[in-house]
Every structure is written in structure tokens, then in C-alpha cells.
Amino acid sequence: QVRLVESGGGLVQPGGSLRLSCAASGNIVKFTGMGWHRQAPGNQRELVAFIDFNDKANYGGSVKGRFTISKGNAKNTVILQMNGLNPEDTGVYYCYLADLARVTWGAGTQVTVSS
């Protein structure tokens, strides 16, 4: 089993910044990558960012240039730095880890962008 622990969500004003963290533990079978999806009420879950085992990052179109994904100092951790937040970024942000055995999802952390 793989366990993911997310942190860093909250309420922020438009134009502000938040930093999300995700730490994975457990039986990880050949790490492939980690990333974030998000889901707003009434919308489908969408890719935010993903970073693979070679540190190559991919971003969803709406966050390019504003969000940055990176690996943390601890093994199997990922950081999502979100700048220039706007109300359309509001939603539940889900961390996930992909390895050869499965894709594991975290419970999600709420991000609300509002004045």
C-alpha cells in the first residue's frame, strides 16, 4: 500500500500564492512520477501538473507560467508552488503517485481563491 499526505491548501485572495506539499510512503514499486489534479464543483478532474522520475514537468494549459512543480528534499515528495491565483483555480487539489503497480490518490486539499 502507498499512502499520500497532502498539506498547504487554504483561502487566498486573487493574485496571491499558495504552496502545496505531498509526501508519499509505503511500498512504492519503481517510482514513475507524482503530480496534482484538481476538481472544481460541477467540473471534471483535470491535470494541474506532473513531474516524472527524470524531473520532466508537464502542466495543464490554464496553469502554465503560474504554477511550478518540483520534487521536495525528502524522497517521494512533491511541491506545487502556485502564484497568480485567480478564482478559477478554486477546487479540491488531489496529489497522486504513479508507480509500476498502480496510481495512488490522496484525499485532496481545498484551495479557495476569493476576495
Whether residue 72 contacts residue 5, with contact meaning beta carbons closer than 8 Å, is answered with no
pLDDT digits (tens, 9 = 90+) for 21-64: 999 999 888 889 999 999 998 999 999 999 999 999 999 989 99
Whether residue 24 contacts residue 34, with contact meaning beta carbons closer than 8 Å, is answered with yes
Structure confidence at residue 106 (pLDDT) = 97
Whether residue 63 contacts residue 55, with contact meaning beta carbons closer than 8 Å, is answered with no
CB half-sphere exposure, 60, CA atoms < 13 A:
16
DSSP 98: E
- Rounded to an integer, the average pLDDT of 95-105 is 94
Split at pLDDT 50, 70, 90, the class of 80 is very high
Structure confidence at residue 86 (pLDDT) = 97
